[in-house]
Structures are given as structure tokens and as C-alpha cells.
Structure 1
Amino acid sequence: MKPLIGVSTYREQARWGVWDQLADVLPAAYAQSVERAGGVPVLLPPGADDAASAVVARLDGLLIAGGADVDPSRYDAEPHARTASWREDRDAWELALLDAAPVDLPVLGICRGMQVMAVHAGGTLVQHVPDVVGSERHSPGGAEFGDVDVDVLPGTRLAAAIGDKGSVRCHHHQAVRDHPGFVAAACAADGTLEAIEHPGHRFRLAVQWHPETRDDAGLFRALVAAAASEGGD
């Protein structure tokens, strides 16, 4: 059977057809990428924290998707002037999913997902990358993605999935500063951390870029393959 991959979603006011109401939404590219890699996507809108264990028990893999900034209080920081629009319900839900995820459950984080995974581990974030690197190339503004060259550390799970370097599409004004338990897996030329992975887990990997926005299937294939090797027994 194809592995079930849970994908976290937004809960936002949205408009479609004649409707303008609160909705659970996510760009279709996430689910399509999972499907193309051979998995079955299951969307996971923010829910009650105590439901996370029941949800995770039914999954073969977990994908923490991109989205808004993480609430700085989650890592004991005051908000930067450019930190905004965090969603307390989504923060709580995704952290609960990670709390409930057993060590052998494959987990992939994308953009915000990498930041959530680092904060869950007790890490902290750079709240505005341009303050550090002096440019906005990682998030040029609006719906535009920044093309960023990354170097992948050899010998990592990430290198096995996508190779040792390449150009990626970024849309993040924040980044991971500290990541207890994780090791760096890729960096941009300006020093921005672009990927982390956890050597103590079978597959727990996160990237700061958006592989779902281009034909960049290596990460999704790796996630689904890891999920199938466990969930398909």
C-alpha cells in the first residue's frame, strides 16, 4: 500500500466562488509533490493538541509545510519589527504533532517547517535575515521567490536525496540560528543555514527552501521511500 503522508495546513480567511469564510488551505503543489513521489497526502488542519497522538499513529510520514512566522515567545524572544502574522493555533498543532511523532516516523520540514522543527528541539531563530546578510535575496517580496545557490554537506541524507549543490527557490525572511540535536546539511553562500537533519532519527530532515515549487522531486521521493520502508511492512 502507498504510505500515508500527513501535511500540515493553514487555517485562514479565504475566498472562493460565492464564499468568504474561514478555511483550511494549502498550495496544491505540496500534495501533488507527495503524490508524484508515490505517497498519499493527508491534509492536517490545526486541531486540538490532544488529538496529535491519534493522528500521528495513523501516518507513515509527516510533512510540516511552509507558512507564517513562528511566534517568538515559543523560543523566548521578543518580536522583531518585521515578525508578524504568527498563528498560535498552527504553532501549537505542529509542535504537538512533533511531540507525538515517534523516533522512527519520517519527517520533512519545508521553510516554516524547518523553523518549527528547530524551535521544537529548543532552538532559536534569526527573525529577519536581511539584518544579517544585508540583502533580501532570500525573500524578494510579495509572491516572488529568490533563487539561491546552496552547498549541501557531503555524506548527509540531504546529499543522498538531491546531490551536493544547486539553485533553490526561497521565500523566507527568517532562518534557524540554533538547532539542538540537528546538524547543518546545507548553507547558502552568504552563510544562511538552508537545511538541517537529525542524526538520531531514521529520517528527520528540513530545508529552508520550497522544493514543491519546481521539478525538485528528490526530497519527496526520499520522504515517501522512508515512509514506505516503515509503513509498508
Structure 2
Amino acid sequence: MPATPLIGITSYAQPAQWGAWHLPCALIPLMYVGSVERAGGRALVLPPSTEAVEETLDAVDGLVLSGGVDVDPAAYGAPAHHTTDEPQVGRDAGELALLAGALERDMPVLAICRGFQLLNVLRGGDLVQHLPDAIGHEGHKEAPGVFSEHPVEVAAGTRLAEILGARHDVKSHHHQGVGRVGADLVETAWAADGTLEGIEDPGKRFALGVLWHPEAGEDTRLFAALVDEARSYRGDRGRAPT
């Protein structure tokens, strides 16, 4: 029986309410978990922390960097725009450490929305802090709590095109994007307004970033590709099947 890869998913660090309780939480929308498990993996939620990073990476076979609040502009040497979220310095530090360690190991990584932005920042790139200032509309985040829908064009010859084809309809919810592209990353997808929607590192086994939210749709091809690579990675490092 094929091994079931264990996929770590970075978590939000937000207040949450259930029943009579209203407390700070490490949480993740269940859509991420469902997408991993439909693709044949087992999800493990990873709270934000810079502690025991190597031990955490020892335990998983792949990594999903989830969405959430804006990356602290100090991480790429910029002052904060007035629309930029209050920084979550602990989450930024923990996820950057996990991402750097995963890439060093050549562990499969799927970086989603905020994660896409973190991947670019880790490689020395920067961000456009408020896309409407650059593109003149709010089509990537038309209403809070509601995904905007639009197509992207995917560059031929990229890993993303191999998985999704030349055109793909996506669900977005972001007001920031990539400015300067980081080292060793190639551009892979764009919205009609020119917004960069995909990046990848072709020198790695599987290191893909997308600005949209694939977990919010029915198409699990990105997660399936991640899980397949995680299964191979698990076998290459000799972990026992589950």
C-alpha cells in the first residue's frame, strides 16, 4: 500500500469564538485540511513558532504555507502602507524559518497567498502593499470574506503549467502582491491586469507559490501534485509508510 505523506500546514494566529469561548487560537480553515486529505495526504496543523523547526520538518513530508494577515513590511525593508495589517512578527518569523528549512531540505512546498508572498520575501523580493494603487481596481478582493473569481494565464514550460494547463480559473482574496521577484524564482502566472499570480523555483523538487486560494475550489490538482512529491520525498529519505 502506498505511503500516506504527512503534510504540515502553517496556521493562523487569531482570536476565535466558539460557544461561550473567545480566545487567541492557532487555527486553520478546514478547507486546507480537506484539500490535502482528498489528495491522499494526512494534514498536520503547525502553530507559529521558531522553536524546534528542524524537529518539525523531520516529522512532515511536505509543507503548505497558508493565507492570512499581511507580511510585516520590515521583513523586506519597507515602511508600512496605511492599509497594511498590524504585523504578526511571531508568525512571520516562524513561517520564514520553516520555509527556509524546507527549501534547504528540498522538501515539497506549496505556498498559498500570504505564503506566496513569504516565499518571495525569503528570496529577497518585495511586495506591493496595496494593489489597487498599482492596478486601479479592487478586483482581487472585492468584499471582505468573499472570494473574487478571475482567470489566470500560465506560462508554458513551467511546473505550474504541467499541473494546471495554460489557463486556470481561480479564487482570490488579497490586496497585496509581488513587486520585485526574489532570487531563483520564475514568474509562472498572471491575471489579466498584469498582477503576478504564480512563482516557482525550478531548481527545487517542488516549490510553487500561488497568490490565489486553491483550497477554496473543487480542483485539487495542485494538492495532488504536492502530495505525490511528498510521497516521493518520504521514500527518498527512508521514512516508514503509514
Does TM, scored on the shorter chain, surpass 0.5?
A: yes
- Structure 1 residue identity aligned to 2:7: I
Which aligned pairs between 1:89-128 and structure 2 lie closer than 5 A?
A: 89-101=90-102, 102-128=104-130
SS at match of 1:54: helix
Consecutive unaligned residues in structure 1, runs of 5 or more: none
**Residue from 185, 189, 192 that aligns with 1:186:** 189
Tell me what 1:154 maps to. Answer: 156
Identity of aligned residues (%): 48
Q: TM-score, normalised by structure 1?
A: 0.97
The residue aligned with 1:78 is: 79
Instruction: Compute the displacement of 1:106 (Å).
Output: 0.3
Structure 1 window deviating more from structure 2 (10-19 vs 187-196): it is: 10-19
Which residue number in structure 1 is paired with residue 232 of structure 2?
Answer: 229
Task: Give the superposition deviation at 1:85.
Answer: 2.6
Q: How many residues get paired?
A: 232
Mean Cα deviation higher: 161-170 or 31-40: 161-170
2:129 equivalent to 1:130: no
CA distance in 2, matches of 1:222, 1:133: 32
Residue 200 (structure 1) shift: 1.2
Is the Cα contact below 8 Å between 1:103 and 1:202 reproduced in 2? no
In structure 2, the gaps of 5 or more residues are 237-242
1:95 is paired with a residue of what secondary structure? Answer: helix
Per the normalisation by structure 2, the TM-score is 0.93
Runs (4+) of structure 1 moved beyond 6 Å? none
Deviation of 1:214 after TM superposition, in Å, equals: 1.0
**Which residue does the alignment assign to 2:143?**
141
CA contact (8 A) 1:3 1:232 kept: no
TM-fit CA distance, 1:118 = 0.6
Taking only aligned residues, the RMSD between alpha carbons, in angstroms, comes to: 1.0
Residues 172-206 of structure 1 show CA distances to partners (whole Å, capped at 9, x for unaligned) of 10001122210001011111000000011010001
